[in-house]
Amino acid sequence: MQGTITTTRREQVAIHTYTSPESGLAVNTHVIELASQLLILDTQYGLPFAVEAAEFAASLGKPITRVYVSHAHPDHFFGAGVFNTPVHALPSTRETIAAAGDVMLAGNKAAVGDFVPDKVTVPTIDVEPGVEVIDGVRFEFAAVTQTEAEAMLIIELADEGVVLAQDLVYDNLHLYLAEKHLAGWRTSVEELRSKGFSTVLPGHGAPGGPELYDYVLAYLDVAEPALANATNGAELKSTLLTAFPRAGGAGLLDIQNGYLFPTA
């Protein structure tokens, strides 16, 4: 297996976090194992890693009943078709993928070829924020806006002390800043921290605890003036690499620079 599995166990649920290697942007697919079924949150960017995550889920011997996509960035939804299960997302995420997913795929196909799938799987089932009990476990689905993405689904398991925070939180990787919602991102992280979850499952990197909030906030403190003052992508990348020399995910800096500083 090229990716890694980290398992978070609680009394009524086990969450298996598949993390792709850096060539897959260290993105996470969370396999939420309940008594009789599996739920999937996010589906990878690279096709080989989506297949690995799906094969791991199959090894658990329970049916996948739902796939959730947290937000409309390709590293979280490109692999959805591999799971062959209805895909759930916030309405705005579904609409964005329906409208722009094929364009995103075409651009990525041109860059990386068969590393990404041949077809976009558009979510068909809307997620409405609120509480739902699934297999006896209380899930709270929450939407945050103007953070790393315009809209993002997070899943709170308050009874288990676990939050699946997705790209609201990274673990020691460079953040993706291309949408420039840094103030809103900071506010949402602080609000989530106030809820007191002991275990935080990020969208990129290894699961952790509240220290992940501190990392993201410290990164945003550096990134905000760096983004405001940089005149080109190389300058921004250099500033962030210097400030966070031990952070992984440098490839994300190159991807975001393509959006922040497009060539004529």
User: Which of 120-129, 213-222, 249-258 shows the lowest per-residue confidence on average (mean pLDDT)?
Assistant: 249-258
- Domain around 102: 4-260
pTM comes to 0.97
Instruction: Give the model's pLDDT for residue 188.
Output: 98
Mean pLDDT of 118-126: 98
Domain count of the chain?
1
**pLDDT tens per residue across span 9-34:** 999 999 999 999 999 999 999 999 99
**pLDDT tens per residue across span 194-232:** 999 999 999 999 999 999 999 999 999 999 999 999 999
CB 45 within 8 A of CB 145: no
Instruction: Give the model's pLDDT for residue 159.
Output: 96
141: domain CATH number is 3.60.15.10
pLDDT higher than 50, residue 264:
no
Instruction: Give the model's pLDDT for residue 3.
Output: 97
CB 29 within 8 A of CB 55: no
Q: Give the model's confidence band at 263: pLDDT under 50 very low, under 70 low, under 90 confident, else very high.
A: confident
